[in-house]
């Protein structure tokens, strides 16, 4: 087994154990799967992800063995300094390349932007996570290690930002608590409190290591009440969390107002010590 495979396998051990637990307790498995499937997830998030024509340069492609390619942008500024990695997990049935182009407008100001594709192909360049945070973890961590392998110590491996939207929110809400050293700053778009359920105890146990969390959900999104419950959950744990429920927005990433909605959020997340 290669060193890369050994590292990913080691990271995956807690997830394999979690998977065995879910398999042995069907009711728990049903709740975990139901949390992602019953909440309002956009059937094709890419349809609402229109890219402005002035974005000319597409992301670079990163080979991620065992999974579809990931995409990335290098950070602006110094080419020598170590920079944090902002990992974005898209919604179900989305094109990771297009979403990466949109997020590059704000994310590259603060660090690397890494966009794994998701392990389930839906055709036409669209992918999903299959409500599977166990393999989703291998996908995300594998892409992060490949970025580090390619660029060395310019790529930060601890204290990074994890962003998840829709089905990607479900995956992010379960990856984050299990990998707090790697991702201790989270931004969840269209969060659901039920998505925490498989990792609720881990959030409690690791709460002192979680630096900052930002929850962003459109007022007209059916997930808004669940986001408010997620906010209360994290607040009760004493975690530094903020929430925005902006008026007039639905279940979509508002590409046309990326800077307006997310630049201050990312600045706040990255600034945590």
Residue 234 has pLDDT above 80, yes or no: yes
CA distance 204 to 183: 16
What are the structural domains, with CATH classification, of the chain?
A: 3-271 (3.40.50.1820)
pLDDT, one tens digit per residue, over 153-164 is: 999 999 999 999
Mean pLDDT of 38-63: 53
> What average pLDDT does range 68-74 have in this prediction?
96
d(CA 89, CA 115): 6
pLDDT of residue 56 exceeding 80, the answer is: no
pLDDT, the chain, mean: 83
Measured CA to CA, the distance from residue 170 to residue 26 in angstroms comes to: 19
- Distance (Å, whole) CA 146 – CA 140: 10
List 70's β-bridge partners, or say none.
62
Signed CA dihedral, 30, 99, 220, 163: sign only: positive
The angle that helices 26-38 and 3-24 make with each other, rounded to 10 degrees, is 110
Residue found by looking up tokens 């107002």 in the block:
257
Average pLDDT over residues 40-57: 40
| Confidence grade of residue 273 (pLDDT, cut at 50, 70, 90) | confident
pLDDT tens figures, 196-233: 988 999 999 999 999 999 999 999 999 999 999 999 99
Predicted structure pTM score: 0.81
**What is the structure's pLDDT at 157?**
97
pLDDT tens for residues 84-137? Answer: 999 999 999 999 999 999 999 899 999 999 999 999 999 999 999 999 999 999
Does 3 have pLDDT greater than 80?
A: no
Residue length of the chain = 273
How would you classify the pairing of strands 85-89 and 160-165? parallel
Residue 65 has a pLDDT of 96
Average pLDDT over residues 49-73: 77
Residue 269 CA to residue 103 CA, distance in Å, equals 15
Is pLDDT of 40 > 90? no
> Does residue 182 carry a pLDDT above 50?
yes
Q: CA geometry: angle at 256 spanning 271 and 260, to 5°?
A: 35
Say if residues 212 and 240 touch (Cβ distance below 8 Å). yes
Q: How confident is the model at residue 51 (pLDDT cuts 50, 70, 90)?
A: very low
pLDDT band at 10 (very low <50, low <70, confident <90, very high): very low
Q: Which pLDDT does position 22 carry in this prediction?
A: 26
Sheet bearing 160-165, strands edge to edge: 60-62, 70-73, 112-115, 85-89, 160-165, 183-189, 212-216, 241-244
Higher-scoring residue by pLDDT: 55, 30: 55
- Does the pLDDT at position 38 exceed 60? no
- Average the pLDDT over 166-193 and give the result: 97
Confidence tier at 241 by pLDDT (50, 70, 90): very high
Q: Is the pLDDT assigned to residue 42 strictly greater than 50?
A: no
Mean pLDDT of 239-263: 92
């Amino acid at each position: 087994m290669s060193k890369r495979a050994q590292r990913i396998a080691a990271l995956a051990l807690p997830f394999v154990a979690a998977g065995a637990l879910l398999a042995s307790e069907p009711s728990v498995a049903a709740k975990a799967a139901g949390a992602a499937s019953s909440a309002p997830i956009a059937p094709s998030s890419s349809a609402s992800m229109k890219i402005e024509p002035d974005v000319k340069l597409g992301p670079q492609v990163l080979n991620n063995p065992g999974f579809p390619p990931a995409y990335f942008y290098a950070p602006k500024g110094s080419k020598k300094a170590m920079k944090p990695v902002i990992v974005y997990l898209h919604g179900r049935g989305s094109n990771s390349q297009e979403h990466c182009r949109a997020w590059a407008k704000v994310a590259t100001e603060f660090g690397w932007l890494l966009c794994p594709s998701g392990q389930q192909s839906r055709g036409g360049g669209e992918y999903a996570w299959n409500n599977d945070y166990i393999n989703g973890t291998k996908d995300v961590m594998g892409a992060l290690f490949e970025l580090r392998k390619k660029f060395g110590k310019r790529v930060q491996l601890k204290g990074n930002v994890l962003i998840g939207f829709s089905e990607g929110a479900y995956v992010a809400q379960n990856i984050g608590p299990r990998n707090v050293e790697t991702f201790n700053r989270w931004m969840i778009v269209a969060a659901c409190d039920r998505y925490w359920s498989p990792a609720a105890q881990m959030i409690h146990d690791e709460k002192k290591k979680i630096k900052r969390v930002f929850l962003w959900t459109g007022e007209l999104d059916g997930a808004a009440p669940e986001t408010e419950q997620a906010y209360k959950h994290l607040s009760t744990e004493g975690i530094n969390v903020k929430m925005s429920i902006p008026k007039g927005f639905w279940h979509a990433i508002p590409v046309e107002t990326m800077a307006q909605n997310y630049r201050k959020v990312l600045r706040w997340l990255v600034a945590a010590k």
